[in-house]
Amino acid sequence: MSANGLVVPGLFNVSNGVGTPGASESNYTARQVGTYGDFRIGYKNFLFLHGTGRNDWVSVLATQNRSFFYPSADVSFIVTDAFESIRNSGKISLIKLRAGVSKVGQVNLSGGTDFGAYSLAPTFGGSSNGFPYGGLAGYTVGNLLVSNNLKPEITKAYEVGVDLNMFNDRLTSTWTWFSSKTDDQTVNTAVSSTTGFTSLLTNTGQTQSQGLEATLHYDLLKNNDWSVTVGGNYTYLDNKVNFISADLPKLALSSNGSGASYAVAGKAFPVLMGFDYKRDLAGHVIVSSVTGLPTKTDAISVLGNATAKNRLGLDGAVRYKQFRFSILFEYRGGYQIFNSMGTEMDWSGTGIRTAAYDRQSFVFPNSVYADPAKPGSYVPNTSVAIANGNGNNGFWTDGINRDVTSNYVTSGDFWKLREVSLAYDVPTKIFGKSNIIKGMTISAQGRNLFLWLAKDNLYTDPEFSSAGNDNNGIGITGLGSAPPSRFYGASISFKF
């Protein structure tokens, strides 16, 4: 219940409010039933086969779509256990070959506390436009349009890999190739408000992910007092939209300002889309031969891939007697981000871009203008300068600059000192003959300590997304998210 306009200030009681109190109640019921089976068989401890099968029945879907089955199978062959000559060679301590195939189903309709219940059709709620008023009730249909044939998401995946250890396990490594396809992804996409709705919940197309994962670690030094291990991991990820529903050539996933995250058939998933400057065939920005001002494109276009293709982690661990030190660096690269905060910074004059050319008139870089003597041709612009507004502040604050999305699309590449920790295992002898305390460790940690950005990223940590309350705002950062933070901590742990 709620009430507005207190009669007596400071008396927070519903009966002390002016007008009709507000009240709301929500009840949701959903049911999921599943059956599951698991099968394992091994042969002489070097050949193993594993299989699973599961069927779910989910009440929130239509009757014809409620039941779905998804199995999986994997096989592994330990070469070094099958052939003693390899294991006894003194160089190779483990070779394990593995492969797997799986099918996974899920219903992606949960909106938090509603469990996905009542998601198959638009629902009605109390109107906020003056109703209910006295004895008059008022209801309005929701702004979400829902497909009448929602299905579960189905992901089919394949994986092959090898585990290789050498030199009495001083060198350990894993290598994995994977590929997966997801059909009927449930997405919430924007639609024109002229339909009477603002968004559409529907299944769409097929996305594909494939790539390579590898880990490698080596013990540089290992004895009673010292151990030093260095290594890392690498992931290459290629996400792609294979096709989308014929009714929707592209799907808007999330937006912030002039930039948006989209699913587009034949492109990486997701991509950033927005406005760019009009350009000639060579990529030069076309400006007016009179004012020197550029113009933005009439339609949005793809401005970059929003998911990092390359991920690299470098780690090290050093132990000296009771002291343990570890460090982790991380790199992500091969993608772009849209910094929506850039438009606000340019408008207020706090962005570094607004200080370019000392805020004076300037010739737009890499620009051309139409050649009056040769229609369809362009002349390099070396003298026609932009001159609008006092001290040229007008260019940075108006739509000629701020409405062009590409101005704020930068590389998302970064290096980060992800974690550093130092621990000390207190010798048990200090506890005397006590049988209660078996050990004590004192440690200190730090996370996200330093960040190195790409040269063109003048804004923030690419990991901080601010587009909407879902996970679709990949590649979009803005003022709506908390500033990047360093974390420090310490702990004392006991063993009893």
Q: Write the pLDDT tens digit of every residue in 302-324.
A: 999 999 999 999 999 999 999 99
User: Can you give the residue range of the structural domain that contains 21?
Assistant: 1-30
Is 202 inside any structural domain? yes
Q: Residues 325, 398: one domain?
A: yes
Q: Are residues 14 and 46 in the same domain?
A: no
- Please say if the pLDDT value at position 423 is more than 80: yes
Residue 128, pLDDT > 90, answer no
As for how many domains the chain has, the answer is 2
Residues 91 and 4 in one domain: no
- Shared domain for 6 and 68, answered yes or no, is no
User: What's the pLDDT score for residue 470?
Assistant: 44
Residues 26 and 62 in one domain: no
485 pLDDT more than 80: yes
Q: Are residues 3 and 91 in the same domain?
A: no
Q: Within this chain, do residues 284 and 226 fall inside the same structural domain, yes or no?
A: yes
Residue 468 has pLDDT above 70, yes or no: no
User: Does 125 map to a domain?
Assistant: no
Judge whether residue 466 has pLDDT over 70: no
Residue 424 resides in a domain: yes
> 299 in a domain, yes or no?
yes
pLDDT at residue 469 is higher than 60: no
User: pLDDT over 70 for what percent of the chain?
Assistant: 94
pLDDT bucket at 380, cuts 50 / 70 / 90: very high
Residue 474 maps to which CATH number? 2.40.170
Residues 97 and 2 in one domain: no
- Tell me the mean pLDDT in the region 236-265: 85
Distance CA(259)–CA(467), nearest Å, equals: 10
Of 37-46, 54-63, 209-218, 355-364, the range with the lowest mean pLDDT is 355-364
Q: Percent of the chain at pLDDT above 90? A: 54
- 483 vs 284, residue with greater confidence: 284
Asked if residue 124 belongs to a domain, the reply is: no
Is it the case that residue 251 has pLDDT exceeding 70? yes
Q: Residue 281's pLDDT is what?
A: 93
Please, which pLDDT band fits residue 390 given cuts at 50, 70 and 90?
Answer: very low
Average pLDDT taken over every residue of the chain: 88
What is residue 324's predicted lDDT score, i.e. its pLDDT? 96
Shared domain check, 222 and 288 = yes
Residue 136 placed within a domain: no
Residue 405 has pLDDT above 60, yes or no: yes
Q: Are residues 39 and 17 in the same domain?
A: no
Q: Is residue 153 located within the same domain as residue 23?
A: no
Q: Which of 93-102, 106-115, 325-334 has the lowest mean pLDDT?
A: 106-115
Judge whether 129 lies within some domain.
no
Does residue 62 sit in the same domain as residue 21? no
- Does 131 score more than 80 pLDDT? no
Q: Does residue 218 sit within a domain?
A: yes
